[in-house]
A and B are shown apart, each in its own frame.
Chain A
Amino acid sequence: MTSTTEKPAGALKERRQMNGNTVLLLITIILFFVLYAAGCAVYAGKGFATVQTFLNILRSKAGLLCVTCGMTCVMLTGGIDISVGSLVAMDCMLLSYGMANWGLSAPVMCLMVLGIGVLFGLFQGYCVGYLNIQPFIVTMAGMFFARGMTAVISTDQLSITADINQTFYNWANYRIYLPFGGTLNRKGVMIMPYFGIGVVISLVVLVVIFLMLRYTKFGRSLYAVGGSEQSAAMMGLNVKKTKLKAYLLSSFLCSIGGICYCMNTMSASVSQATGLEMDAIASSVIGGTLLTGGVGNVIGSFFGVLINGTISTIVQTNGKLASSWPNILTAALLCFFIVLQSIFALIRERKK
C-alpha cells in the first residue's frame, strides 16, 4: 500500500483478522494429537504406542479417507452424498463375485468398479445439477439402489482368497516396510512397521484432491458454488456443471475407496460398510467442513478420519468397552465441533 491515498472508513480495522476456519482446523489437529497421546499414555502396555498402530489406523481407514475426500468436495458445494456407503458395499461385492465367478482378472474388475462409479456419479450429478433435485433425495435413491444391487449380485458372505484371485490377494498383502520404528516380537525378532497399497492410494488421493481444491479452476468453483450459487452464476461460472462434476468425483473417489476397503477386508456382504457415509460426513464436519458449503478442506477431513480411526483403535485396544463407544464419542466430538463452528460464525457476525 504505497501509492494509495485516502482509506475507506473501517477498512483498516477489518484487516488481518484471524480466520475462524483456520482456528477450527488447528483445533481438529490438536484434538487428534491429544487423543492419540492419551491413547499412547493409557494403553502403552498394550502396544498402542507403536508406529505400527498408527499405520494400522491408516490401513483400516484408507477406504474411508478416499470416500471422505469425495464427500468433502460435495459438501463444499453445499450438497451431500449419502450413497457412498452402499456404493462401497456394491464395489466390494462386485469385486469379490466377479473375480470368483466370472474369472475376470483383478485389473479388469477394478476398472469395471471405477467405470461403474463414474456412471453412478454422472447420473446423480445430472439429477442434482441439471434437474435441480435435492442432493439428499438423489443420493438416498442412489443409496437404496446400490444396496439393493449388492444383494442382487449375491446375498452370500464372500471372501477373496489366494485361490480365487492371486493378483488381488498379492496386492492386498503387499507390504511396504518403513526403515525405522520397528518393535521386537516375542521371539526377539525385529519387526519393521509396514503399510499396504491401500494407504498409498488413499494418501495420493488426499494430496491430489488437496491440490485440486487449491490450485484448479474446478476446485475453486466448488468453493464459489458453496459460498453463493447465485453469485457464482453471476460471475460466469457454470454452476450446473460444477455440481455434476462434484458428484461424479465423489462416486469415483468412492469407488477407489471401495477397492481400498475391499483390500482391507478381503470380503463382501450385503451389510458391509453400513453407515460409512455417516462416518465420512462426520469426518468432514470434524475436519471443519460446513454443511452449508463453501468452507472446508481435505487436510481437515484427513484429521477427521484419523480421529475416527483413533477412537475405534482406542476402544479396540481397551477390549472391555462396548463397541457402541466409538459412536458415542463421535457424537460428542460432532457436537463439540458444531457448537464451535456456530460460535465462530457468531463472532464473525459481531465483528462486522
Chain B
Amino acid sequence: MIRFLYGHQLDAFPRLRDTMFSDRADQFKRRLKWDVHVSEEGFERDEYDDMDPLYVIAEADNGDHLGSMRLLPTVGSCMVNYHFAHLLTGPVQSPLIWESTRFCLARHAPRKTAALLMLAAGEVMVGFGVEQCIAVFDQRMVRIYRLNGSEPEILGSMGEGQDYIGVGLWSFNSHAREAVCQRIGVAPQESRTWFDLHFGEDNRLGQVG
C-alpha cells in the first residue's frame, strides 16, 4: 500500500521507518557509493529528515519498506538549493515547486514500485496545487522516468554512468497519470483514493494538474 507520512508520524510505523532508512543506506551508500552518512544501526538519515519532510512510501504487506521519496517545499530550507547548488544556475524557490529527494527502492521491490511512487507523488502534487517537483536522481531513475513516459526536464547534472547525478523538474498532469496507470494496471480512481484516504477528499485543491 501507499502511505503519505510526515517525519513526526514515522514513529507510529517503526518497522516501515527502520527498513526505509536501511534500504536508503543500501541504495545510496553501498550501491551508488554516494557520500552519505550511515549510522551504527545501518540507517541513512540526514539533516533534512529532521526537518519533518513528507515521505511518500510504498509498503509491503508485511510492513516492510519497498520504496520511498522525500518531499520538502523549496521556499524553506531544502536540499537542492544547498547540496546540489553546483548543478543549478541558481536556487529554485517557489511555492508551486517542491523538492523530491532520496528516491529509493528496496533491493527486491516489485518492478512496478517506482511507477507506483511516481503516481502517488503526482497525486500529492495535484492535490496540493504543486505544479512541479525539482528532483535529484541517479542514472537508473532516468530510465524509470522514461519508461513511465514522464521524463524530467534536466536542469543540471554531473558524472556519468554509475556516478551520474541529475537535477530536473518533473511535472504531473492527466496525461502522465493515464500513462503510468495504464502501464502498471492501476485505475486512475484508485491512485486518487490513496490521497483521499490519507489527506481527506475535502483537502484536494484540484482534480487535475
Physical interaction between A and B: no
